[in-house]
Amino acid sequence: MAELSVIGASHRTAPVEVREGLAMAPDQVARILAAMHAEKTFDEALVVSTCNRTEIYFVPRAADDPLGYFLGHVARVKGARPAAGADIFYRHDDADAVRHLFRVAASLDSQIVGEHEILGQIKQAYRLAVEAHTTSALLNKLMHWAFRVGKRVRSETDLGAGSASVAAAAVDLARHIFSSLEGKTVLLVGAGQTAETAARALLAAGADRLIVANRTLYRAQQLAYDLAHETIGRPATDRAATDRAATARERPGREPVADAVGLEAIPEAIARASLVITATDAEEPVLTWPNLSDVLRTRRSPLLIIDIAVPRDVDERLGRLDNVYLSNIDDLSRLVERNLGRRRLEVPKAEAIVACEVADFGRWLASRQAAPTIRLLQKHLAVIRKKQIERYGKQFSQADRAQLEQFTQSVCKQILHSPLAMLKQLAADGTPSERLAAVDLVRRLFDLDAIDDEPPAEPPSRPPAEPPS
């Protein structure tokens, strides 16, 4: 039986409609883990669930059909059995499972290679597992190792460099113009999904004022309220009581953090903005030369206009004005494609790091087998016995020294009896997690890692893991 396995489905094996049926919120994952802990089906278990993958890492114990068992729990917490055939699930065991986790943590298995969210998502999955008490020696060590691999790949390669989405590219361009987005105003023209995502990214990057301009004022007010609420993060007032007036949210003594205006108010709004994102369905430009050239000519500070609409919303003559920087969807796509190309060049370097870390983890795991630990423990005590005899043996006669040898050998055997019996019994009957925990305890008690001829790549295991901060 494998010591560690992973079963899951990801964007590589399942279409989005199937992944939707498997994706779980953190509270649902916590409920599954709590049930698994109670049922003791797995020795250890951890569930990673994102929009692109749902996986369970486990140290098997009793489950004959771990996939069916897991899907049963998913169906229970989601209220419906996922429409997923067994063919979309992959399973990796032992070293392959370790390699899979390390590749996921390094963002090599992500839909957008090098994306930054996955490591945080894995940390959250680990936190949930620790809170549910479904991790022990093996997964604790493995997950901390995976976090380190993720960080190492990020710091030693350019796998995560550059923006990889239109929204991130917008932030990227803004950061080439503004030293900080703090205090900057974003004008969002239109209420399309892509523009909304880009505006959300700019607000998340620090911009703290938003003006939404739309043909329908009500929709603008609604979007301004929602974006201000979720991104700027001030406590919401009673939404039903909010009349969605032009000022969606206000800070005491400061100008509103989110306004909504009609399209006719764009000239006034653009004078206050540092960044403009446009994405309307209009057939003709919305930001026109006659309307805006005078306002923009007198600007002293830079203005970044990102035109995501097709057909374009912005008269391109405006982009030739001093202090105005205009980018359309093709410009952003070129930037994204260039960055993704660079990331792809970094993949071999990242894969080499993962391979190296998998080998190191394998060596560490091998050192945690019972047999080498028993040999090491016997050797350790033999060395201690020999040293003590050399130190004190001269005080004994030749005849007594033979008896001293016998006596010390006997003492050592007695000392070793219980730990060796425990290790042998766990090697024969125990679960991998129990064996690992016992070996770890013995190695720490006798400080065996310090005298191991072939020390593991990783220092002795940390104390029982704590949730990552």
Partner 1 sequence: MADLLAIGNWVLPLLYLALLADYGATFFLRTRTGARSPWLVVAVAAHLAFLVLRGVHVGYPPVANAREIASILALATAGVYAWVELASRDRRTGVFVVLLAFLFQYTSSMLLAGRAAEPAEIAPGAVGMWARLHVVPALVAYTALAFAGVYGLLYLLEHRGLRRHRFGVLFDRLPPLEVLDPMAWHALLTGFVAMTVAIAAGPLLLRAEGGEMTAKVLSKIIAGSAAWVVCAVAVLGRWLGRWPASRTSAIAVVGFLVVMALLIVSGLLS
Binding site for partner 1 (CB under 8 A): 162, 173, 175-179, 298, 300, 302, 319, 322-323, 325, 327, 331, 334-335, 338
From the candidates 16, 25, 51, 355, give the one annotated as an active-site residue. 51
Determine contact, residues 212/259, Cβ cutoff 8 Å. yes
Q: Which is nearer to partner 1, 256 or 319 (CB)?
A: 319
Q: How far apart are CA 71 and CA 73, in angstroms?
A: 5
> Least distance in Å: CB of 463 to partner 1?
33
> Least distance in Å: CB of 346 to partner 1?
13
> Least distance in Å: CB of 19 to partner 1?
33
Q: Which is nearer to partner 1, 25 or 310 (CB)?
A: 310
Q: Which is nearer to partner 1, 247 or 293 (CB)?
A: 293
> Least distance in Å: CB of 205 to partner 1?
13
Beta strands 209-214 and 247-249 are unpaired
> What would the two tokens of residue 165 be?
């989405």
Determine contact, residues 291/266, Cβ cutoff 8 Å. yes
> Least distance in Å: CB of 163 to partner 1?
10
Q: Which is nearer to partner 1, 305 or 426 (CB)?
A: 305
Q: Which is nearer to partner 1, 322 or 429 (CB)?
A: 322
Residue 51: active-site member: yes
Beta strands 247-249 and 53-60 are unpaired
> Least distance in Å: CB of 272 to partner 1?
17
> Least distance in Å: CB of 179 to partner 1?
4
As a three-state string, the secondary structure of the chain is CCCCEEEEEECCCCCHHHHHHHCCCHHHHHHHHHHHHHHCCEEEEEEEECCCEEEEEEEECCCCCHHHHHHHHHHHHHCCCCCCCHHHCEEEEHHHHHHHHHHHHCCCCCCCCCCCHHHHHHHHHHHHHHHCCCCCHHHHHHHHHHHHHHHHHHHHCCCCCCCCCHHHHHHHHHHHHCCCCCCCEEEEECCCHHHHHHHHHHHHCCCCEEEEEECCHHHHHHHHHHHHHHHHCCCCCCCCCCCCCCEEECCCCCCCCEEEEEHHHHHHHHHHCCEEEECCCCCCCCECHHHHHHHHHCCCCCEEEEECCCCCCECHHHHHCCCEEEEEHHHHHHHHHHHHHHHHHHHHHHHHHHHHHHHHHHHHHHHCCHHHHHHHHHHHHHHHHHHHHHHHHHHCCHHHHHHHHHHHHHHHHHHHHHHHHHHHHHHHHCCHHHHHHHHHHHHHHCCHHHCCCCCCCCCCCCCCCCCCC
Query: In 3D, which of 106, 116, 111, 114 has the Cα closest to residue 11?
Result: 111
> Least distance in Å: CB of 305 to partner 1?
11
CA dihedral (111, 115, 116, 119) positive or negative? positive
Q: Which is nearer to partner 1, 180 or 406 (CB)?
A: 180
Q: Which is nearer to partner 1, 168 or 426 (CB)?
A: 168
Q: Which is nearer to partner 1, 320 or 394 (CB)?
A: 320
> Least distance in Å: CB of 429 to partner 1?
52
CA 256 to chain centre: 34
Q: Which is nearer to partner 1, 300 or 391 (CB)?
A: 300
Q: How far apart are CA 147 and CA 127, in angstroms?
A: 12
Q: How far apart are CA 115 and CA 121, in angstroms?
A: 11
Write out the catalytic residue numbers.
51
